[in-house]
Amino acid sequence: MWCDIDDAEYVRERLNVPGCQILMRVDRDVFEPNGSLHSHDTRYFISSIDPGTVTPDDLLRLVRGHWQVENCLHWMKDRWWDEDTHYLKHCGEIFVTMTNAALSVLRLMQQPGENLRATADEVRYVSQEVLRRFGFQAE
């Protein structure tokens, strides 16, 4: 990971990004199981964190946390519900709120060791299964 305070000043002053304190460059290599390089990419980040209060390890942890959210939440929402291209995307926050709620409910119903997609598939058309997983007994 690379950080440069002088470049942060340039971005802050010349490019009018007033909160810029740190610029980061993160290079990522993804390897195949056999050890060969599968892909390489470079990402750039701007942070308003005071550089004197964080270490490079702290910054890397924040970057990884950002991608954890992207990979575990946004990827699922786009993959399962086509949120990025869905026509309801332009209806404000309602569609986003509904997909967030649906994922939250699925995670509550998920059995230990069960894949979230398997949970969704199992309860999709069976309302009694949803109730059973929440502890209600059908009469």
pLDDT tens per residue across span 72-116:
666 777 777 677 777 676 676 777 787 788 888 888 888 888 888
Q: What percent of the chain has pLDDT over 90?
A: 8
Question: Using DSSP, how many helices (H) and how many strands (E) does the chain show?
Answer: 6, 3
> Which structural domain range is residue 11 located in?
1-54
Both 82 and 48 in one domain: the answer is no
- 37 and 105, same domain (yes or no): no
Bridge-based pairing state of the strands 37-47 and 22-31: antiparallel
Instruction: Please state the domain count of the chain.
Output: 2
pTM, to two decimals: 0.49
CB 11 within 8 A of CB 23: yes
Which of 30, 54, 78 is where one domain is finished? 54
Nearest to 21 by CA among 49, 40, 1: 49
Clarify whether residues 78 and 135 are in a common domain: yes
For 51, the token pair is: 């550089």
Strand partners, 26: 43
**C-alpha to C-alpha distance for 131 and 52, rounded to whole angstroms:** 52
Residues 41, 60 within the same domain:
no
Positive or negative: CA dihedral 76, 80, 86, 88: negative
Same domain, yes or no, for 25 and 43?
yes
Residue 5 has pLDDT above 60, yes or no: no
Residues 62 and 39 in one domain: no
Residues 96 and 44 in one domain: no
